[in-house]
Structure 1
Amino acid sequence: MYTPHNFRTGAGAYARLGVETQAMSASPHQLICMLFDGAVTAIGMARHHIAKGEVAAKGQAISKAVGIVANGLKASLDAKAAGPAGAELVANLSALYDYVVRRLLQANLHDDARALDEAEALLESVASAWRQIEH
């Protein structure tokens, strides 16, 4: 028999499968876009959880956003592939991602929606530029 809990669990598994399938067939350019989307979605969830006073869920959402920025976006930067002309851009993006992570951590510690807004705006700005690049 289906219960609301089983439905949510099954729906979550189905959603994860869809994302995994999309990721497996995505180009490197599309994968970076997916990382930006995932980080922004996690920030939106954190904002929701702050408003509802859901401390644990807020922490999980912010941890997810931090993981995506630090272990996805920042880790994907490749100064060697960028060459001498792109080395400065890679260094600037790396510093920006470090700053975004700091703002996310501050948002977590202080329930600071403005820090979430700033982190989201910075990521959206870079994501917008990334999406305009021909792949």
Structure 2
Amino acid sequence: MNPMKALRQYQKVSSVAQTSEASPHRLVQMLMQGGLDRMAQAKGAMSRGQIAEKGLMLGKAIEIIGGLREGLDPEKTTDTESLKELDSLYSYMMTRLAQANVHSDPKMVDEVAKLLITVKSGWDAISANDQP
């Protein structure tokens, strides 16, 4: 058996178990971390000249951010202005990652990662107990 294949299978099973037991708050944290992980993997692929892998990882990061964007629920907030700003920020992040893919620009990826880290820091500061 290929040890890397076994490790990936273990990670997949572990991740499925974590998501099935996670609160909505924790799921958002996991998505944000997943987006950051894919961006880091894309940058590694860029440095190694692995164009297909770079595109795959940036595509996954874009999908994750798109999922976060789709999860914004105007019916569950009274602060619609902040929600609109976050929606615009997610849209901007997705556009920048697409541009980073076209231009193979790790600085663009860093820019988006910093933005997502800022959003994640705010989200992490919210206690899961404060969630409805």
Q: Same fold (TM over 0.5)?
A: yes
Give CA deviations for 1:100-134 in whole Å, capped at 9, x if unaligned: 00110011000011100000000000000000012
| 1:100 alignment counterpart | 93
Any idea what SS the aligned residue of 2:58 has?
helix
**Which of residues 21, 30, 35 is equivalent to 2:26?**
30
Which consecutive segments of 4 or more residues in structure 1 shift more than 2 A?
none
AA of the residue aligned to 2:91: D
In the alignment, the residues of structure 2 paired with residue 111 and residue 68 of structure 1 have an alpha-carbon distance, to the nearest angstrom, of 20
In the alignment, the residues of structure 2 paired with residue 37 and residue 27 of structure 1 have an alpha-carbon distance, to the nearest angstrom, of 15
AA of the residue aligned to 1:121: K
* RMSD value, Cα: 0.8
**Which of residues 12, 15, 22 is equivalent to 1:16?**
12
Any idea what SS the aligned residue of 1:77 has?
coil
Are 1:69 and 2:65 counterparts? yes
**TM, length-normalised to structure 1:** 0.92
Any idea what SS the aligned residue of 2:77 has?
helix
List gaps (5 residues or longer) in structure 2: none
How many residues align? The count is 128
Identical aligned residues as a percent: 34
List gaps (5 residues or longer) in structure 1: none
